[in-house]
Amino acid sequence: MSQGISRRYFFFGTLLAGAVPPGGFSSAQSLKMLGYKSPNEKLNIAGIGAGGRPFADLVASEAGVENVVALTDVDWERGAQGFARWPKAEKYRDFRQMIEHQGKQIDAVVIGTADHMHATCALHCMQAGKHVYVEKPLTRTPWEARLLTQAAEKYKVATQMGNQGYSHDATRVACEILWSGEIGDVREVHAWHGGPGWPQGMQKIPPPTPVPTSLDWDLWLGGAAFRPYTTGDDEYRAYAASMMGGRGGAGRGPGRGPDGAMSAEVAAGAQPGRGARGGGGGGEGGFGFYLPFNWRGFFDFGSGLFGDWGVHILGPANWGLRLGPDSLISVERTKAEGISPFTYPVKNAIKYEFAARGSMPPVTVYWSDSIQGDAYLPPGMTAEEARKIPGQGPQVGPAGRGGFPGGRAGDPGGRGGAPGGGAPGGGGRGGQPASSGYNLIFVGSKGCLGTSGRGEGVGLLPGSRWAEYKLPNAYLQRSPGASTGDNGSAHARDWVRACKGGAPACSNFSIGGPYTEWLVLGAVATHYDGKLLWDNARGEITNNRDANKWVKPTFRKGWELKL
């Protein structure tokens, strides 16, 4: 391909003008508006969630430079991880009390609760004038995602969703390849994941058990309908063991992903068998029913694999194809196995249909989970042919960080999220099918492009095409620190710079909000047979009124949300 910059390249770059500040990602806007004399001043940061994933986000945000002044966790045993690291920080169980008592000392808040409390915590902090970093997915439901998008615009604070792949060079290179016209018009995208790292498909709720003394269960529930706490019974534990040992060959222990790799929560510093999210609870061991992080599979608390890994895997498609709820036509469940009255199905397949966006044609996005091997390969192409040829072609980002060579293909940084559980070599692990190394494939009129992990790996298919490829000229500015391969730190520091008056972070809520809105409509579709038609102007489904109860949640009295 010619390395000249085509008219098409310029056009797609123009489409993203709002995503790239005029002065680049290192430019500074009005510091006075944000209350700072200098972007070098230290931030005073608070955490809602002090252990596991939010702990890792706090470490990345603080980076040995900023101040962590307050920590909230509804489970003080789980929060002990953060309490020990920042002993001078004030400790709270209720985030509202933290803002009330210490708000004048707090500039910014890192939020890593269960999904159902993301919007509640974030809105409260934004209304108090605090910058917010919210772990992915931004919200559990589409309505909440739109609410936070509007809140960010109203309250003028710096925001970031924790989809760390957006800060990796490879995600941006994937966009640049798409805009260069290298693979032509894209009309199909296929994305998949091996399966949840927690049990789903349960048919009944076990009897109540005592609430751990470290946990405030009512505060953990927050806006969700009250229900008794339970860690499960013997029947549930047997079911969970069969589910978590049934995929990927060898049985997996708590905290392990679908291929036996550690889950993102455990990789972030949580110990298997202990609470793996802020306010995780379950410190008294094992796969509890709701906690430590099994809440992800429950309709009332999580967004299933859509929010856990879909938001990572589909990131390059969202950015590169300019997807959004404004262009979404419909979402449809095409497969469901192991349906439960209160959890997501054991296996899912969803189809999203998008209208044309500018000169980009209509595109259909297919999502599948519980896939071993590849959910899609170009017709006539084997997994071996699709894979990159070791040592040949452009190396994007540090070797061994999901972009392979040097690391497990499709694996972000050597942990969880392998595309389909298959190994990149001639045979899969534990007898599983071999994998191309990708978990997302763009199907264009002139070829195919793949990405892996959280977007950290990018390549043209077949691998022989990538071996001879020269990257297009860079258009998008790179994240600070992305060259080190530490996406989490780069993503957090991108937000910290925005808090200090720099350019908006790369996944600020004007970007992360609309993305989450269309993405979690897939979770809505898991409840119904048939195509659900989306009306973006009204923010609702038009042909199935019942489905709208999953678009906008009902909040427990006293927890209602309003701008």
What's the rounded Cα separation, in Å, for the pair 468 and 447? 14
Which residue, 202, 211, 196, is CA-closest to 237? 202
What's the rounded Cα separation, in Å, for the pair 376 and 189? 9
Which residue, 22, 305, 67, is CA-closest to 191? 305
Q: Residue 54: count other Cβ atoms within 10 Å of its Cβ.
A: 33
Tokens 């925005």 sit on residue: 498
φ, ψ for residue 57, nearest 5 deg: -65, -40
Count of all residues that appear for the chain in the document: 563
pLDDT given for residue 481 in this prediction: 66
Question: Buried b vs exposed e over 63-96: b needs ≥16 C-beta within 10 Å?
Answer: eeebbbbbbbbbbbbbbbbbbebbeebebbbebe
pLDDT given for residue 292 in this prediction: 87
pLDDT given for residue 146 in this prediction: 98
Predicted confidence (pLDDT) per residue in 40-79, tens digit = 689 999 999 999 999 999 999 999 999 999 999 999 999 9
H or E element in which residue 494 lies: helix 487-499
How would DSSP label each residue in 125-161?
Answer: HHHTT-EEEEESSS-SSHHHHHHHHHHHHHH---EEE
Between 24 and 329, the more confident residue is 329
H or E element in which residue 363 lies: strand 363-368
What's the rounded Cα separation, in Å, for the pair 388 and 464? 7
φ, ψ for residue 84, nearest 5 deg: -70, -35
Instruction: List C-alpha distances in Å: 316 to 89, 202, 378, 383.
Output: 37, 33, 19, 21
What are residue 337's DSSP bridge partners?
347
What are residue 262's DSSP bridge partners?
256
What's the rounded Cα separation, in Å, for the pair 221 and 116? 8
CA triple 334-444-427, angle to 5 deg: 70
φ, ψ for residue 146, nearest 5 deg: -65, -40
Burial of 471 (0-12, 13-18, 19+ CB in 10 A): middle
How would DSSP label each residue in 294-318?
Answer: GGGGBTTT--HHIIIIIHHHTHHHH
Indicate the residue type of 49.
G
- Indicate the pairing of strand 90-92 with strand 67-72: parallel
Predicted confidence (pLDDT) per residue in 464-502, tens digit = 999 999 999 998 988 876 656 577 799 999 999 999 999
Quick check: bond before 208 cis, omega within 30? no
pLDDT given for residue 19 in this prediction: 43
Between 313 and 19, the more confident residue is 313
What's the rounded Cα separation, in Å, for the pair 535 and 498? 33
Which residue, 137, 136, 128, is CA-closest to 157? 128
Q: Span 12-28, mean pLDDT?
A: 38
Which residue, 55, 107, 136, 18, is CA-closest to 499? 107
What's the rounded Cα separation, in Å, for the pair 15 and 525? 29
pLDDT given for residue 247 in this prediction: 43
Pair of tokens at residue 279:
């306010």
Q: Span 433-445, mean pLDDT?
A: 94
pLDDT given for residue 399 in this prediction: 60
Mean pLDDT across the chain = 84
pLDDT given for residue 412 in this prediction: 30
What's the rounded Cα separation, in Å, for the pair 558 and 563? 15
